[in-house]
């Protein structure tokens, strides 16, 4: 099974900051990686798929990069709505999520 590991587990930031979250796969997953945002008490929301393709309606301050085993999600000019937990997910070999990264004030 392909395991996904995110770092850090928690990141503290302020409005206007740039935040970078890393996701590592235990084996090569090409570019078959998605990023999700889950606000407290809400349903997960797809932000990025195919490692760097922005889902329709998602603000351009979100960006993704990487291929193979290492990927990053970058949020520039952090907004109040962005304080949430972010999950990566590989869909190369079935499906598996990372453990999540909480972005807090």
Partner 1 sequence: EVQLVESGGGLVQPGGSLRLSCAASGFTVSSLYMSWVRQAPGKGLECVSVIYSGGSTYYADSVKGRFIISTDNSKNTAYLQMNSLRAEDTAVYYCARSKSARFEDRAFDIWGQGTKVTVSS
Site string for partner 1, 2-31 (x = CB under 8 A): ------------------------------
Tokens of 81: 């709505």
Which residue of 24, 45, 69, 83 would you call a contact of partner 1, by CB under 8 A?
A: 45
Strand partners, 73: 21, 64
Task: Compute the least distance from the CB of residue 1 to partner 1, in Å.
Answer: 8
Q: What is the DSSP letter of 81?
A: G
Residue 91 found at the interface with partner 1 (CB under 8 A): yes
Q: Is 23 exposed, middle or buried (0-12, 13-18, 19+ CB in 10 A)?
A: buried
Specify the stretch interacting with partner 1 by CB under 8 A; choose among 12-20, 33-41, 65-73, 74-82.
Answer: 33-41
């Amino acid at each position: 099974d392909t395991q996904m590991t995110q770092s850090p587990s928690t990141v503290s930031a302020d409005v206007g900051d740039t935040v970078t979250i890393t996701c590592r796969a235990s084996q090569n997953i090409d570019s078959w990686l998605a990023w999700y945002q889950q606000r407290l008490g809400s349903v997960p929301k797809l932000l990025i798929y195919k490692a760097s393709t922005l889902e329709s309606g998602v603000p351009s301050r979100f960006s993704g990069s990487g291929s193979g085993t290492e990927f990053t999600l970058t949020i520039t000019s952090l907004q109040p709505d962005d304080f949430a937990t972010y999950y990566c997910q590989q869909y190369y070999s079935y499906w598996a999520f990372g453990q999540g990264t909480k972005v807090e004030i």
